[in-house]
Structure 1
Amino acid sequence: MRVLIVVLCFAAVAQATSWANLKPLHRVMHVKRGVPQYDRRIIGGENAVEGQFKYQVAVQVEGAGFCGGSLIYENYVLTAGHCVKGANLWTVTGGALNFLNLNEPGRVTVGTQNATLHENYNGLVINNDIAVIRLPAGFTGPNIAPVRLPSASTASDDLVGQTARVSGWGKSSDASITINPDLKFVDLTVITNEECETYYGSLVINANKLCVGTNGGIVSTCNGDSGGPLVITESDGEPTEVGIVSFGSSLGCESGYPAAFTRVANYIDWIAANTGYPVRP
């Protein structure tokens, strides 16, 4: 079946001054077999607890768009390229659980105009959907800490069959009109790119992406989750970010179609070149 693709980031946006109004920043773009849609949420997930996702950040885009992201190194945040494209101002919040609770202890918010979009970003087929945001100073707090990225030697690992965890404030159902105020997470299983290609087509799915099943739409990402981290737990028990929330089906987050992510391992050298991140062998 041919289907539209939806990028999961900007469409799940709420205004900075009135979170009751959904305000998309990007129009849906059409591609063969799909239409990329920038926005996603966590569907069927659980509420996070304090300190569970110290690397998770919220990214407000020019006071109107909303994305997720992850603190990866000192004062650098990793996010989706479509969360950066065409924008000039980002407000990053770390250490938060309820995004609307401005009085949460340990919560830190900073603004920046410094971001780097991948030079080969292609919004038409959602390729190289990756960017880094540079914060003006070190980002610290009791519930703030960077996440580990994959080692260079794992670039060829397809991760198929592994359980991965995604977190974010995205919408909790297709019927929702705003992001979810509470940080949520859900566990998903990585599927083959060949299976994902049957939904979105070979023009969109390539080695730079990885996909997860959504159990018929019971669990998934959604609008507002774009740019957020997908992590696996390695043998030492530590979380490692392997994916960046990128896109899903325009038929809806609960449609049962796979959720797609930028494959972080393929961009380790790019991240290191633009942040100074110390690459693991």
Structure 2
Amino acid sequence: MEFLDNPEGHPGSKCIRDGVEGVCTSIYTCLTAVQDVKDKKYPPLCRYQGDTPIICCTDCELVNDTRTMYISQTSGRWYFRNGQKARDKCLDYMQELEPCGDHFTATIAKDLDPERKCYIPRPTAALLGYGLDEDSAQWVCAGSLISENFVLTAGHCISSPSLGEVKYVALGILKRSDPSDIWQIYHVKRIIAHPDYNPPSKYNDIALLETQTRVVFSDVVRPACLHFEEIENDNNAEATGWGALGLRKGLADTLQSVYLQEFPEDECSKLYPLHRLLRRGYDHRTQMCYGHHEEVKDTCEGDSGGPLQNTFHISSCQYMVIGVTSTGRQCGLLGSTGLYTRVFSYLHWIESIVWP
């Protein structure tokens, strides 16, 4: 098809397509243009910028570069071919550290729980502390260790109205009541909330904590991988945390684990409509909602910042964080759900800080 050059159609200028107002932009930043070209329905051309067509795009939001995206043959979803640094570090950690598995699990069970009570250790789990000193610190949020110096958590976990900014990261523990010599506490050197996080809004509810000293990896302290590629069974995932054991119940002493189901986008939109904390309603591009239709399964108050994760296909005991616990409806009820920040959408930002 021949494109007709329009010298007035500079990038960012307004345009009209099929009666709908759009914006002139590079064809490579308009997701619907990919399908248009595939269907031989070429979008209206504003002008050329060098060899790049500037087209009229009516998408609500533009993407970085469609040339770095692919469509899943199983789910039909679009994915960026990004996360190269996250992928490389994930594989590096798996090769450098002792293999996980039955021996790994048994070692932790023996060290942390001599009575061999039933639980599943999560060496990537972090508990966040607030207060003037370690002895009096309050531990009220969670996170995931993702490198030698960084913990991934929720934006709203970086500070507490009554306790101030997060000061400490505890690793290598299973229980709040574990002996003090088991706790591996690291001081927080730097707090980095996502630049678009604007509390109390729940959009872009994601943050990074940098530790003052390098984290020492071991059997009980290991970094998680980040969601850098499509996961075949991401409709089921595990959430962990030390939060409340139910509605109006106390915080858990032992790290809790619950397996949840992904709710479809239309259902999430109904569960999380326009609200003072969600001015645009549920945003499927940057958020996910998980829960359970038939059972009382959900994250609860105090689980914030913890991971929504799945196993990495290369290793059944290596976890990949796909979401960060953000907020939710009333927990402890049948059909309740939690809202999670979609890690994949923030991978470029995370990589630029953790592995620049």
Q: In structure 1, how many angstroms separate the alpha carbons of the residues matched to 2:215 and 2:298?
A: 29
**Against the structure 1 CA distance between its residues 112 and 125, is the aligned structure 2 distance closer, same or farther, given a 3 Å change threshold?**
closer
Q: 2:142 aligns with which of 42, 46, 68?
A: 68
**Against the structure 1 CA distance between its residues 147 and 235, is the aligned structure 2 distance closer, same or farther, given a 3 Å change threshold?**
same
1:28 maps to what in 2?
Answer: none
SS in 2 for 1:274: helix
1:142 aligns with 2:219: yes
Q: Which has the higher strand share?
A: 2
SS in 2 for 1:266: helix
1:244 maps to what in 2?
Answer: 324
> What's the offset of the Cα at 1:163?
1.3
Q: Which has the higher helix share?
A: 2
2:338 maps to what in 1?
Answer: 259
Instruction: Indicate if the aligned counterparts of 1:72 and 1:148 stay in contact, CA closer than 8 A.
Output: yes
> What's the offset of the Cα at 1:104?
5.7
**Against the structure 1 CA distance between its residues 233 and 142, is the aligned structure 2 distance closer, same or farther, given a 3 Å change threshold?**
closer
Instruction: Indicate if the aligned counterparts of 2:157 and 2:166 stay in contact, CA closer than 8 A.
Output: no
Q: 1:205 aligns with which of 282, 297, 319?
A: 282
1:77 maps to what in 2?
Answer: 151
For structure 1, the 5+ residue unaligned runs are: 1-45
Structure 1: which 4+ aligned runs deviate by more than 6 Å? none
Q: In structure 2, how many angstroms separate the alpha carbons of the residues matched to 1:160 and 1:124?
A: 32
Which string of whole-angstrom CA distances, capped at 9 and with x for unpartnered residues, describes residues 85-136 of structure 1? 564342111110111223464x301222411011110334300000000011
> What's the offset of the Cα at 1:162?
2.0
The one-letter code of the counterpart of 1:132 is: L
1:205-244 to structure 2, matched below 5 A, reads: 205-206=282-283, 207-215=285-293, 218-236=296-314, 237=316, 238-244=318-324
Q: In structure 1, how many angstroms separate the alpha carbons of the residues matched to 2:271 and 2:340?
A: 14
**Against the structure 1 CA distance between its residues 267 and 47, is the aligned structure 2 distance closer, same or farther, given a 3 Å change threshold?**
farther
> What's the offset of the Cα at 1:268?
0.5
1:116 maps to what in 2?
Answer: 192
Worse-superposed segment, 95-104 or 162-171 = 95-104
Which is higher, the Rg of structure 1 or of structure 2? Answer: 2
> What's the offset of the Cα at 1:48?
3.1
Instruction: Indicate if the aligned counterparts of 1:112 and 1:134 stay in contact, CA closer than 8 A.
Output: yes
> What's the offset of the Cα at 1:170?
0.6
Q: In structure 2, how many angstroms separate the alpha carbons of the residues matched to 1:133 and 1:125?
A: 20
1:169 maps to what in 2?
Answer: 242
1:185 aligns with 2:257: yes
The one-letter code of the counterpart of 1:186 is: V
Which string of whole-angstrom CA distances, capped at 9 and with x for unpartnered residues, describes residues 189-242 of structure 1? 112222111011152310100111233561110011000011112322332100
Which string of whole-angstrom CA distances, capped at 9 and with x for unpartnered residues, describes residues 13-49 of structure 1? xxxxxxxxxxxxxxxxxxxxxxxxxxxxxxxxx9634
SS in 1 for 2:145: strand
Q: In structure 2, how many angstroms separate the alpha carbons of the residues matched to 1:186 and 1:47?
A: 14
Q: In structure 1, how many angstroms separate the alpha carbons of the residues matched to 2:336 and 2:302?
A: 18
**Against the structure 1 CA distance between its residues 264 and 139, is the aligned structure 2 distance closer, same or farther, given a 3 Å change threshold?**
same
SS in 2 for 1:88: strand
1:133 aligns with 2:209: yes
**Against the structure 1 CA distance between its residues 116 and 225, is the aligned structure 2 distance closer, same or farther, given a 3 Å change threshold?**
same
Q: In structure 1, how many angstroms separate the alpha carbons of the residues matched to 2:233 and 2:288?
A: 9
The one-letter code of the counterpart of 2:296 is: I
Q: In structure 1, how many angstroms separate the alpha carbons of the residues matched to 2:295 and 2:282?
A: 20
For structure 2, the 5+ residue unaligned runs are: 1-116, 132-136, 275-279
Instruction: Indicate if the aligned counterparts of 1:75 and 1:135 stay in contact, CA closer than 8 A.
Output: yes
The one-letter code of the counterpart of 2:269 is: E
Q: In structure 2, how many angstroms separate the alpha carbons of the residues matched to 1:161 and 1:150?
A: 10
2:348 maps to what in 1?
Answer: 269
Q: Percent identity?
A: 26
**Against the structure 1 CA distance between its residues 128 and 114, is the aligned structure 2 distance closer, same or farther, given a 3 Å change threshold?**
same
> What's the offset of the Cα at 1:160?
7.8
Instruction: Please give the root-mean-square deviation of Cα atoms over the aligned residues, in Å.
Output: 2.3
Q: TM-score, normalised by structure 2?
A: 0.58
Q: In structure 2, how many angstroms separate the alpha carbons of the residues matched to 1:136 and 1:211?
A: 34
Larger RCO, structure (CA 8 Å, separation 6 or more): 1
1:36-51 to structure 2, matched below 5 A, reads: 48-49=119-120
> What's the offset of the Cα at 1:61?
2.8
Q: TM-score, normalised by structure 1?
A: 0.72
1:30 maps to what in 2?
Answer: none
The one-letter code of the counterpart of 2:123 is: K
